[in-house]
Structure 1
Amino acid sequence: MYLIVAMIGVLLVNAITRNILNIPIHWAIEMAQFILAAYYICGGAYSLQLGDHVRMDLLYDRFSEKGKARMDAFTSFFLVFYLVCLLIGSISSTAYAIKYDQRNFSMWNPSMIPIKIIMVAGIVLMLLQAVSMFFKDLAKARGEPPQ
């Protein structure tokens, strides 16, 4: 949540310096984009933990608790597969950024290494949470008490 406050602060500084002081700062918009990217990448695992992700309730609401747990365990398999693919790609992208000191092509020219490391960390956290959810749903589907 604090990253949103930081992003608002950066955008506010940008608006004040550009519109009132007539001194444009070239790094503000990109910094706000990096902060927002870190926010939603790191927020994915937390959102999974809270169960705040969107579901298609067309059929899901009609299932029993065990049926919902079975469906969640089934779809968790696909989520884990997707996150593993993302992790492989993000590790490759981060290794490339580190090896070649990748920079964003802009006037500010920031290094892409920090945001790519944050991307890998966020995907790892989300993958761990998805695996945890899979085992919890599997236990629920078997009728075992939650732990």
Structure 2
Amino acid sequence: MRLLYRIIRVIDAASKVVGNVSLLLVFTLMIVMVYEVVMRYLFTAPTIWAMELSGYLMLLFVALGGSLTLLKDKHINVDIFYSRLSPRGQAIMNVFTFGLFFAFIYFFFSLALKQTITATKFLHASGTIWNPPIWPIKMLVTFGVGLVMLQGIAKFMRDLVMAITGAPIEQHLGEEKG
């Protein structure tokens, strides 16, 4: 059980670091958009890169922040019945619905990985007038989706322990949840 908990903690730590770093992308996005507005409307000199870069920054924010969102249990869910369940009941429901999550995220990860391998092999660029390399973005998206998959597995392991024992894994190890 201690090894399982260590693995979960490593995944949680990675999600926290990557998720918090992804928050910086929002500030970068704001700077890019303010720069574009100033250049476009004050100097009548729009950039060729700001809109495309803002799309990439938003994509990376979502992809890299997904695991932290999952860790903090902030994803959208339908909780008409779920919120009325006990923590153990919620864990049992999570265990049963994990298959849906895993099927979706595995498909998404496989697709992202395939595209990343192709883009990296052929050094794909965006094909726009700005034409930045696209493979680093695809690589980071694949990394982010992979981390969401790992965080989902960590959540499943936590939920499985809770569903079976009725207590969080931390309680079995004499630690406070945090």
Q: TM-score, normalised by structure 2?
A: 0.79
2:61 match: 39
- Answering whether residue 86 of structure 2 is matched by residue 74 of structure 1, we say no
CA contact (8 A) 1:94 1:117 kept: yes
Over 3 Å off, 4+ runs: none
Cα offset, 1:107, TM superposition: 0.9
2:161 match: 139
- Structure 2: which 5+ runs fail to align? 1-22, 171-178
CA contact (8 A) 2:88 2:167 kept: no
CA contact (8 A) 1:77 1:134 kept: no
Per-residue Cα deviation, 1:89-116 (whole angstroms, up to 9, x for no partner): 1111011111222121211011111110
- Structure 1: which 5+ runs fail to align? none
1:114 match: 136
Please give the residue correspondences for 1:15-54 in structure 2 after superposition, counting only pairs within 5 Å.
Answer: 15-54=37-76
1:104 match: 126
CA contact (8 A) 1:104 1:111 kept: yes
2:10 match: none
Match 2:86 to one of 46, 64, 68:
64
CA contact (8 A) 2:82 2:90 kept: yes
Counterpart residue type for residue 43 of structure 2 = L
Q: TM-score, normalised by structure 1?
A: 0.94
**Percent identical:** 26
2:15 match: none
Counterpart residue type for residue 128 of structure 2 = S
Identify which range, 57-66 or 76-85, moves more after superposition.
57-66
2:25 match: 3
Match 2:146 to one of 124, 127, 132:
124
Counterpart residue type for residue 135 of structure 2 = I
Cα offset, 1:144, TM superposition: 4.7
Q: Considering only aligned residues, what root-mean-square deviation do their CA atoms show, in Å?
A: 1.2
